[in-house]
Amino acid sequence: MEEEKIPAGRRKPWLVPVIVAAVLLAAAAFVWWQNEFTLDLTMEGPQEITLEVGSAFDDPGARACFSGNLLMWKERPVPVEVEGQADLNRLGSYTVNYRARKELNYGFGKLFFEKTEARTVHVVDTTPPVITLHTNPEAFTLPGQAYVEEGFTVTDNYDSEVADRLARWVEADGVHYKVSDASGNVTEVVRPIVYNDPIAPELTLLGKETTIVVQGNEYQEPGFTAVDNGDGDITEAVTVSGQVDYLTLGEYALTYTVTDSFGNSASATRTVIVREYPELPDFMPMAEPYTIVQPEGKVIYLTFDDGPSPFTDQLLDVLAKYDAKATFFVVDRGYEDTLRRIADEGHTLAMHCGTHTYREIYVSEEAYFNDLKRIQDVILEETGQLATIVRFPGGTGNTVSCGINSGIMTRLSKMLHAMNYRYFDWNVSSGDAGETNDPTEIYHNVIGGITGKQVAIVLQHDINPNSVRAVEDILKWGLKNGYTFLGLDTSSPACEVKPRN
Ligand code: ZN
């Protein structure tokens, strides 16, 4: 075989590797030239974050990586620097910057890559203030009274001067408290007012707690008042239970009750006693019980009212001359010596009245007995005798008292009986109190009246001298006709006219 001969000058054995290297180098340069490096920076989370003041900021951060499209197709992480921060304790808008850098160093030069991202953090206050009401469990407001503040506190998560902006006012539903903080967050609370009234009304009875009603006289309610701390005058709301049967003797209870609008009640009781006559006067002594004894034979009781007088001694002389006894219904008008002489000489010293003024003594039971006590005291002081024999001024049957006090004679006569006192009217009138002033006529009136009576009680007045002058003839006539002249005593036969008032 023919061997192709290669010219020696054309033989270049190193050329192939060089060409290969050149091609490779060119290929590498091409790749480098075509490659693009990228630095990517990505924020985690949103670009704007709104946070409540005071809260914690957990920065979601950002991530960065470096890569190329032909070389380094695998991403390589790059650290991210964070610049700026949000002050979570102060309101405001803050910028947080994230920066990533990458530097490529080739000895002959450097390549820098840098990316930044910014995030805005808003620190805001959306929390309304807090109003805390203090309450006293025992506190209450009386109806009609102003509410007394139990206290409150106002706090805000951010605004330290929030309390200065509190407004407080009262409406129908309660006390309003309203406040807004510097960021305009509003809180309003309402405190209902607890109206309460633990205090019962005051119920006051007018008149006496124990009231005496004389049988037959209609009970007159003296009245009452009721006042409540909250409701004011609630007299109209008082109810009365119980009834008084003023025709029937007995004790009756009237119960008065009133309740305020909070259910507090007050009550009072009045006892009404229906009795035949008022309470006996406790300032007068009771007399001993008596027994009436009919006197033997024919008896004349001469009685002289309204003395003593300047003529009484003369009368006593005449009585002494005939050893006759009489009865003197005296008035408190002095003549103490005469009073003593009446008693000393064995006559009956009895009570007529202190003053003879009807309008004063018959105005009430109390007035009557006060007046009677006056003459009783005079007799007791002058003679040591307790007088319990009485003649009513005007007699029991007087009608002059009608216009002064209805029914008083009926009641007084019952009261004297209850006290064991004796009162005497008369069955023979001398007519010496106005009808006549002539001793002869008086004498005839008297003996005319006595005639036919076993027991005569004769009314005369020793303030009338003409009546006194008639006495001697009356004594003579009586003795001649078999009468005995006696003084009244507690056992004397009754002579009581039925009251006409
Ligand atoms: Zn009289």
Tens digit of pLDDT for each residue in 231-241?
Answer: 899 999 999 99
Ligand 1 mean position to 221 CA, how many Å? 37
Scanning 323-438, the segments in alpha helix (DSSP H) are 336-344, 358-361, 365-383, 408-418
Residue 460 predicted with pLDDT over 60 = yes
Task: State the CATH class of domain 298-485.
Answer: alpha beta
315 phi, psi to nearest 5 deg: -65, -45
Q: 387 CA to middle of ligand 1, Å?
A: 17
CA of 278 to the centre of ligand 1 (A): 25
Gap from CA of 396 to ligand 1 centroid (Å) = 11
The pair of three-digit structure tokens given for residue 31, joined into one six-digit string: 């790749």
The pairs formed by 56-65 with CB atoms below 8 angstroms and a separation of 24 or more are 56/88, 57/85, 57/86, 57/88, 57/121, 59/96, 61/98, 62/98, 62/100, 62/117, 64/39, 64/40, 64/100, 64/115, 65/39, 65/40
User: How far does the centroid of ligand 1 lie from the alpha carbon of residue 418, in Å?
Assistant: 23
pLDDT tens for each residue of 167-207 = 999 998 999 999 999 999 999 999 999 888 888 999 999 99
Q: How far is the CA of 225 from the centre of ligand 1 (A)?
A: 46
CA of 254 to the centre of ligand 1 (A): 43
CA of 393 to the centre of ligand 1 (A): 5
Query: 143 or 328: which carries more pLDDT confidence?
Result: 328
Q: Ligand 1: distance of its center to the CA of 383 in Å?
A: 22
Q: Does residue 5 carry a pLDDT above 80?
A: no
Domain ranges of the chain: 36-124, 130-191, 202-275, 298-485
Task: Give the C-alpha separation, 457 to 459, whole Å.
Answer: 7
- Give 458 Cα–ligand 1 centroid separation in angstroms: 13
Tokens 């009641």 belong to: 411
CATH topology of domain 202-275: Immunoglobulin-like (2.60.40)
Phi first, then psi: give them for residue 390, nearest 5 degrees: -130, 145
CA of 303 to the centre of ligand 1 (A): 11
Which two three-digit tokens encode residue 267?
A: 């009550």
Q: How far is the CA of 370 from the centre of ligand 1 (A)?
A: 17
| pLDDT per residue as tens digits for the range 390-439 | 999 999 999 999 999 999 999 999 999 999 999 999 999 999 998 899 99
Mean pLDDT rounded to a whole number for the chain: 93
Query: Residue 6: what pLDDT?
Result: 60
1 is written with which tokens? 């075989």
How many Å lie between the centroid of ligand 1 and the Cα of residue 358?
A: 10
Question: What separation in Å is there between the alpha carbon of 460 and the centre of ligand 1?
Answer: 9
Question: Measured in angstroms, how far is the CA atom of residue 390 from the centroid of ligand 1?
Answer: 11
Same fold, 36-124 and 202-275: yes
Count other C-beta atoms under 10 Å from residue 71's C-beta.
13
* Ligand 1 centroid – CA 433 distance (Å): 9
CA of 330 to the centre of ligand 1 (A): 9
**Average pLDDT for 310-317:** 98
User: How confident is the model at residue 138, as a pLDDT?
Assistant: 85
- Domain topology for 36-124: Immunoglobulin-like (2.60.40)
